[in-house]
């Protein structure tokens, strides 16, 4: 779990209606279709749940954006991920 900052922009950005930022508890999980980030905007009543799927076809683009945004943090993340690479069965290798 991590804190996900969500920035809300009103329809008309003015001094009376500025951008607002809230932090929500978010989760990232592996699914059979890729990875999914999810969070809910409130607790017990009248909340909304959001699910953001990221499919394998988008992993390369995501990695490139990570490198553009913060190369040092991206390399640390890739290095940490490579320490936990599962063995890929021969039937799944290309």
Give residue 48's Cα distance to chain centre: 17
- CA separation, residue 9 to residues 1, 29, 48 (Å): 25, 27, 17
Higher pLDDT, 85 or 32: 32
Higher pLDDT, 90 or 42: 42
How large is the average pLDDT for residues 54-63?
A: 94
Structural domain boundaries of the chain?
1-9+18-54, 56-87
Q: How long, in residues, is the chain? A: 94
Q: Distance between CA atoms of 10 and 32, rounded to whole angstroms? A: 36
What is the predicted pLDDT for the residue at 70? 96
């Amino acid at each position: 779990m991590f804190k996900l900052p969500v920035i809300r922009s009103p329809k008309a950005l003015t001094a009376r209606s500025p951008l607002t930022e809230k932090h929500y508890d978010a989760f990232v999980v592996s699914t059979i279709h890729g990875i999914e980030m999810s969070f809910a905007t409130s607790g017990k009543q009248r909340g909304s749940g959001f699910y953001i799927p990221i499919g394998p076809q988008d992993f390369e683009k995501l990695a490139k954006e990570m490198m553009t945004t913060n190369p040092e943090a991206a390399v640390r993340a890739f290095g940490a991920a490579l320490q936990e690479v599962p063995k890929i069965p021969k039937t799944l290798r290309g």
